[in-house]
Amino acid sequence: MKKALITGSCGLVGSESALFFSKKGFEIIGIENNARKFFFGKDGDITWIKSKLRSSIKKYKHFHIDVRNYNSLKKIFRKYKNKISIIIHCAAQPSHDWAKNKPFVDFDINARGTLNLLELTRIFSPNASFIFMSTNKVYGDNPNSLPLVEKKMRWEIKKNHKFYQGIDEKMSVDDCIHSLFGASKTYADLIVQEYGKNIGLKTSCFRAGCITGPNHSGAQLHGFLSYLVKIALKKKKYNLIGYKGKQVRDNIHSNDLVRCFWEFYKRPTRGEIYNVGGGRFSNCSVLEALNLVEKMAKIKIKKNYLKKNRVGDHIWYVSNMKKFRKDYPAWKQKYSTKIIIKELIKEFSS
């Protein structure tokens, strides 16, 4: 049986990947140590997802391993070797705010952890496809230098601008502020490319904006839509941090994203980068998201505006997926922001 090794297997993208690839006939090797609970407390705890995977997937093997632990990972790779057909690396420290207080931990998880996996893939599973869950934060705050226009509910870019349909892979990663999280993920992104273009592994970096879905253990420091809906339904006050709440988020459902992985697996390349996100099809400002939740759930949300923005936060970010669509034309996007929010309300109301 083909095997899929998934790090962060109980996170949003990891669990969606596990469920998807198990249905495609893969045995799932899940690497997960519930670090999200350490980062974000009770809101980040993914124990419920681990139970869901164990009950839903017959061929799911769970390993409580930290990606920083090379020797523990080595035992797994040595055991399965070339039986591993795909590696989906989702494990990460995902928060700007958290990283600035613990930079060594952030770097070791995001950078060293990725290097560990690449080197073990090279040694034991060189024919496997290696998918890295990167981030649009590799571009730092360069998107904020775009000529943005403030509107009533959001920031926007002029229709005649080259990035109106979304930011593509040609945006520079240089001469900007990344946040420490963005810097550690940029290293990981670059080394994944290097192991593809230089060493010859079948690697790819998927640079996502806001990923969401019902499997998300959203917390204040990470998990925009999930946390927003959760707070709203609990009738708690929601903090809008900087930019008057008009900053635009690019939302892609985890299922849409994982179907991108499937297309790559069927026809892999080496060291490729792809911007992935909701694009013009699925994006919203924080204010627009709150308004949608209010209308759909028929509630009134208490708002608290904080003037100081988060370091490295994007004022406007919409992904341009033209490159991926050109390389993999069979992929189709299913989930709009409205559909995503409707699904989240249903999930958190049950």
| In the block, residue with structure tokens 């922001």 | 337
pLDDT digits (tens, 9 = 90+) for 328-341: 999 999 999 999 99
Say what the pLDDT of residue 216 is.
67
Q: How far apart are CA 238 and CA 299, in angstroms?
A: 13
Span 75-79, average pLDDT: 98
- Domain hosting 76: range is 3-349
pLDDT digits (tens, 9 = 90+) for 158-216: 999 999 999 999 999 999 999 999 999 999 999 999 999 999 999 999 999 889 988 76
Contact criterion met (CB below 8 Å) for 131 and 263: no
Span 264-283, average pLDDT: 97
Answer yes or no: is pLDDT of 223 > 70: no
Say what the pLDDT of residue 218 is.
59
Q: How far apart are CA 335 and CA 337, in angstroms?
A: 7
Tokens standing for 111?
Answer: 């950078």
Q: Please give the model's pTM, rounded to 2 decimal places.
A: 0.94
Residue 210 parent element (H or E): strand 210-212
Answer yes or no: is pLDDT of 38 > 90: no
Instruction: Please give the tally of structural domains in the chain.
Output: 1
Tokens standing for 158?
Answer: 């002029």
Beta strands in 255-298 (DSSP E): 272-276, 283-285
Tokens standing for 84?
Answer: 């591993």
Q: How far is CA 299 from CA 42, 232, 246, 296, 303, in A?
A: 25, 8, 21, 8, 13
Answer yes or no: is pLDDT of 217 > 80: no
Q: What are the φ and ψ backbone dihedral angles of 291, each rounded to 5 degrees? A: -65, -40
pLDDT digits (tens, 9 = 90+) for 4-14: 999 999 999 99
Return the DSSP state at 219: B
What is the separation of C-alpha 150 from the centre of its chain, rounded to a whole number of angstroms?
27
CATH number for the domain that contains residue 328: 3.40.50.720
Say what the pLDDT of residue 253 is.
96
Strands 148-150 and 155-157 turn out to be: antiparallel
Answer yes or no: is pLDDT of 255 > 60: yes
Answer yes or no: is pLDDT of 219 > 80: no
pLDDT digits (tens, 9 = 90+) for 127-173: 999 999 999 999 999 999 999 999 999 999 999 999 999 999 999 99
